[in-house]
Structure 1
Amino acid sequence: MKKMFLRLRPFIGLVICSGLFIIGNSLANLQMPALLADIVNNGVAMGDSDYVTHTGIRMLGVAFFAVCCSLGTTYCSSRIATGFSSRLRDELFYKVQSFSEGEVDRFGTASLITRSINDVSQIQHFLMMLIRNMLSAPITAIGGVYLAFSCNAQLAMIVFAAMPLIVLIVVGISRFSIPLTRVMQEKLDQVNLVLREKLRGVRVIRAFGTEEYEEQRFARANEDLTGVSIRMQRTMSAMSPLVMIVLNGATVFLIYVGGVKVNNGLMPYGDIMAVVEYVMQILMSMMMISMIFIRIPRAVASAGRINAILDCDTAIEGGNVTDSGETRGRLEFRNVTFSYENADEPAVKNISFTAEKGQTVAIIGSTGSGKTTLLNLIPRFYDAQEGQILIDGIDHREYDLKALRDKIGFAAQKAVLFAGSVADNIAYGLDNATREQVEHAARIAQAEEFILDKIGGYDSPIEQGGQNLSGGQKQRLSIARAIIRRPEFYLFDDSFSALDFRTDLELRRALAAETENSTVLIVAQRVSTIMHADQILVLERGELVGHGTHQELMRTCEIYREIVLSQLSEQEATQNGR
């Protein structure tokens, strides 16, 4: 929580202003009981109407001053809390952007969303309440006790004796609440995870008729969250009644004792009114403090979860190299080995190969053989534990991350599109892309035909995730987004899989001319897509079991031969490889 408060330094001016408003409001409120007692004792009791009028005007002035201070406090606290939460969300967003895939996997997407939204909101609400009440409540409580003692020490002792009991109640209940709050936030993560999976996989769920299973799964997660929430609310709800019982009991006893004294002529009636008013202010102060303590457990838990992200060391950090000099388009893997966290064995093991500028390198293998992993190591989505990856003769870990990724045009295995227009999604790959560049990239990717068939053409809208496009259309736009960059290296991660054979062939022909001065790496399951490549890498269980051209591998690699003959006849495999 201390680290959270250190982030308030940019708002120190507003914090000071808020403090001044709070002090003014508290002092004004503390004046009201004394003025009321003065009216009763020296005005009403003496029958002096002028005195009552003048003192009443003073009370109105003090009340107006208190209202102005209260409005100032509300404005400042709102600006501080909303500004702080906005900065915090920005920090979280930028931090998560710097995460490697490993850190994202460790926290989980659902948890990162919960921490960026729900946990930040908890901090915002707590901060607003803290600024409004943390200073005013002690000033009012301490001032009320002092002024109550000034009016009548015996009556004030009744209230003062109840204070330690109230403190014990607040502290005791808060100790039980903090662990429950942490658990509740974790249960909320689980609810978000189940809901997110449900929404993303709704077509699969409907196709397999598993709605009832998903309902039960969500119900279990929801019941877990509800159970923890109820336990916490039961614990916290005991605080206010207990505090009210103690303070109201003290107030009743005070009125009884004060009434006896007034009846016996030992104190004026105005003094008992003033003491009761001070007691009510003390009561409200204690209630505000108890409300802060109710919020503290959730705020502490949320702050811890947010700090876990902000304090997380990013596994992948860029170097200082921004330009590779004269060498362009050369890629070399030297004995590269990589394992995912908690994996039993490496995803890729001891991989070595070299790709020169202008070459096309294809990667093929069975499911789970490490093809996508190999590609993901190049732009440093993950970092290899052993070996080196050299880009233009320089270890890619020495590059500035932006400079490294500017060299790469990437089309992912699952085409990812964003809400916006067709042109926006293609131009996403290049800053300040012109319409001519967008249209050229679309033509190379064989996307122009279906784009122009749409109402609005390149300006036609794309729904979130590209839900209004087919799989092949999404893949072609994803490929166009990579092409528009005109990078040194093209990485196509099985991004031709949804294309029909004719479109696949035409795209590869157009791409060959476009990428003749670049290095192309293609992951594919379809043999016809990769058999004309300059090099073909055959992976099996993360190991490189074959390396060469199509004809060479047909003679030397049994695994490659099996893959080819599972898709083509012997005659087709021989003829197409020529």
Structure 2
Amino acid sequence: MSEKTTNPRRRGPMGHGPAMSGEKAKDFKGTLKKLLHYLGSYKITMVIVMVIAALATIFMIVGPKILGEATTVLFEGLMNLIAQNGKGFDFDKIARILLFLLGLYIVSAACNLVQGFLMTGISNKIAYKLRKEIEEKVHKLPLSYYDTRPYGEVLSLVTNDVDVLQQNLNQISTQVITSLTQLIGYLVMMFSISWQMSLVALLILPISMLFIMVVIKYSQKYFRQQQDYLGHVNGHIEEMYGAHTIVKAYNGEARSVAQFNELNDSLYNSAWRSQFLSGLMMPIMSFISNIGYVLITILGGFYAAQGTITIGDIQAFIQYVRSFNQPIQSISQISNTMQMTMAAAERVFAFLEEQEETPDPVDALSTENLKGEVWFAHVNFGYTPDKTIINDFTAVVKPGQKVAIVGPTGAGKTTMIKLLMRYYDVTQGAILIDQLDIKQFKRNDLRGLFGMVLQDTWLYHASLKDNIRYGKQDATDEEIYAAAKAAQVDHFIHTLPDGYDSILNEEASNISQGQKQLLTIARAILADPQILILDEATSSVDTRTEISIQKAMDNLMKGKTSFVIAHRLSTIRDADMILVMDHGDIVEKGTHEELLAQNGFYAKLYQSQFEDSDA
């Protein structure tokens, strides 16, 4: 768009990023509730996963007890040999115990495989659903949302944040079930062997839980900051790559690198703190667990010497004690993963809850058979509430008229076009088509009335044919060829090795700016709209090509209402009406000859162009 100064667009290559301290307080419980709502769509599968995970854990928990029985049988056989009472090792019983134990482990492994398969499917479906909702939300948000945010931050939601959710949901859900089952199961098995030793083992539990709570309290904010700063870094990188040529042209590399280093340092510091705090958990938990293990070993030896418990029970209990720390450590790891997951989820849900455009009316009017008469009735508008840039704009455009909107940069020319297409809604007044308020139409139907050729071209990674067809999806190849000829682009296309099937790269940098403009003009010609909007449509082509295009555009505009935004006033001499704007107001109105005769603002603009060219 040509009106850069009238729109608080997103920051440029040398601009400053959004304030990092402006994030509102996060709601962990609220975010968890929303995430559980998504999981609620898979209740039956989740129940199956929980049951299978619990069974797999139970089978593993019983293992040490059964293995202890084998140890006891083996120890009794050894004692029999020492006593020489005629009895030896009962290898058959040992074999039966070990085979049964092997069967339990195989069943447990199979259960883990099944629950992992099911949970992976759930996490992938939720990630798919979130990406789909983000994609739909992107098209429902007002343009003002993107004017104030770097595109990279929105892309970070789809990539980094949803990926974090997808990867961690599987781990969190299964580990929570497994850890809780292990914690309960190990306690039951330990008390079944010796309640005195179990009480000693439990002394480490409150100490461990206290430490976990302290770490969670301090690490949460750093995990949240890590996700926020990651979005800022991605936004900066995306912006710098998108404007790489401008950065190079203005020697902005050093400033860009300095800004990146500032953002990256913030990301590093938050990531370092969050990972450091989470990294403290394992060594301290291991230290606490080892103290408890030593105490239990001493007490177990004492009871074994008294004959209160068997050797196999001591072995099983020691295994349970050592394993008892695993679910506690897993819970601590899950808490870290949960912090990161909730931080990512909060950003996603915050985006999905952004205020959308006002909905289309339920009883929307049809746009069929409209003649194209446009009324601007006392229009007032400002991008921000405290600054109005369009003041009492009033004009009537009759069907089929060619209307030129001229004025200095920042006068509000392109802003009026945005209001006409309802990219923004007017603050006061109304815009009417055939005396019907444009708010009475659905946005898609309203915009279907318009064909646009902008100064900033937009082409995408596809063939030239597909880029032209974007204006009319069901167009035949013959219609595309005709539109290309009318736009004076057919000859250029035939010089390419693949002709109309030539593929544009991602930035469409393999053709010139003027050729891009010709393709967008061909797209507008193919669409054959009722109302045309031309925003410096020929600004990027040479004078000779401009004359040819002007003839094609004149034929295209016959019988259609046309709005032409122009800085080169020589191109709009034949306009039926020229609206001269300055600081959001219409200061003059009339034909080219009438305005020159007034010798006013328009005449000075017109004459200044010739003075500049003479200079």
Q: What TM-score, normalized to structure 1?
A: 0.95
The DSSP-based 3-state class of the residue aligned with 1:333 is strand
Other-structure match for 1:34: 65
The DSSP-based 3-state class of the residue aligned with 1:417 is coil
Name which of structure 1's ranges 96-105 and 208-217 shifts more when overlaid on structure 2: 208-217
- Residues 151, 238 of structure 2: 8 Å contact kept: no
Other-structure match for 2:507: 465
The size of the alignment, in residue pairs, is: 570
Alpha-carbon distance in 2 for matches of 1:236, 1:495: 57
Which structure 2 residues correspond to residues 510-529 of structure 1 after superposition, within 5 A? 510-529=552-571
The correspondence for 2:378, drawn from 320, 335, 338, is: 335
With over 3 angstroms needed to count, the CA separation of the structure-2 counterparts of 1:252 and 1:391, relative to structure 1, is farther
CA apart distance, 1:293: 0.3
Other-structure match for 2:145: 103
Name which of structure 1's ranges 368-377 and 198-207 shifts more when overlaid on structure 2: 198-207
Per-residue CA deviation, residues 22-63 of structure 1 (Å, 9 max, x unaligned), is 021111111101111121224542421111111111111101
Alpha-carbon distance in 2 for matches of 1:87, 1:372: 37
Alpha-carbon distance in 1 for matches of 2:453, 2:214: 57
Let me know the Cα RMSD of the aligned residues. Answer: 1.9
Alpha-carbon distance in 1 for matches of 2:302, 2:495: 93
Identity of aligned residues (%): 28
Alpha-carbon distance in 2 for matches of 1:239, 1:447: 66
CA apart distance, 1:66: 0.5
- Residues 367, 446 of structure 2: 8 Å contact kept: no
- Residues 140, 357 of structure 2: 8 Å contact kept: no
Per-residue CA deviation, residues 351-402 of structure 1 (Å, 9 max, x unaligned), is 1112222111111111111111111112211111111111232211121121
The DSSP-based 3-state class of the residue aligned with 2:404 is strand
Alpha-carbon distance in 2 for matches of 1:459, 1:259: 83
The DSSP-based 3-state class of the residue aligned with 1:7 is helix
Alpha-carbon distance in 2 for matches of 1:259, 1:547: 103
With over 3 angstroms needed to count, the CA separation of the structure-2 counterparts of 1:180 and 1:432, relative to structure 1, is same
Other-structure match for 1:67: 109
Unaligned ranges ≥5, structure 2 = 1-30, 78-88
The correspondence for 1:549, drawn from 580, 587, 591, is: 591
CA apart distance, 1:326: 3.6
The correspondence for 2:164, drawn from 122, 143, 168, is: 122
Question: Is 2:561 the counterpart of 1:484?
Answer: no
- Residues 359, 520 of structure 1: 8 Å contact kept: yes
* Letter in structure 1 aligned against 2:34: K
Which structure 2 residues correspond to residues 298-313 of structure 1 after superposition, within 5 A? 298-313=340-355
Alpha-carbon distance in 1 for matches of 2:462, 2:434: 36
Which structure 2 residues correspond to residues 96-495 of structure 1 after superposition, within 5 A? 96-319=138-361, 320-341=363-384, 345-495=387-537
Question: Is 2:74 the counterpart of 1:20?
Answer: no
CA apart distance, 1:107: 4.0
With over 3 angstroms needed to count, the CA separation of the structure-2 counterparts of 1:345 and 1:270, relative to structure 1, is same
With over 3 angstroms needed to count, the CA separation of the structure-2 counterparts of 1:538 and 1:568, relative to structure 1, is same
CA apart distance, 1:245: 1.6
The DSSP-based 3-state class of the residue aligned with 1:567 is helix
Alpha-carbon distance in 2 for matches of 1:569, 1:219: 47
Unaligned ranges ≥5, structure 1 = 573-578
Alpha-carbon distance in 2 for matches of 1:92, 1:454: 38
Alpha-carbon distance in 2 for matches of 1:199, 1:264: 76
Alpha-carbon distance in 2 for matches of 1:273, 1:329: 89
Alpha-carbon distance in 1 for matches of 2:35, 2:434: 44
* Letter in structure 2 aligned against 1:186: D
Alpha-carbon distance in 1 for matches of 2:293, 2:354: 51
- Residues 316, 383 of structure 1: 8 Å contact kept: no
The DSSP-based 3-state class of the residue aligned with 1:514 is helix
Higher normalized contact order (CA 8 Å, seq sep 6+, divided by chain length): 2
Name which of structure 1's ranges 89-98 and 528-537 shifts more when overlaid on structure 2: 528-537
- Residues 322, 403 of structure 1: 8 Å contact kept: no
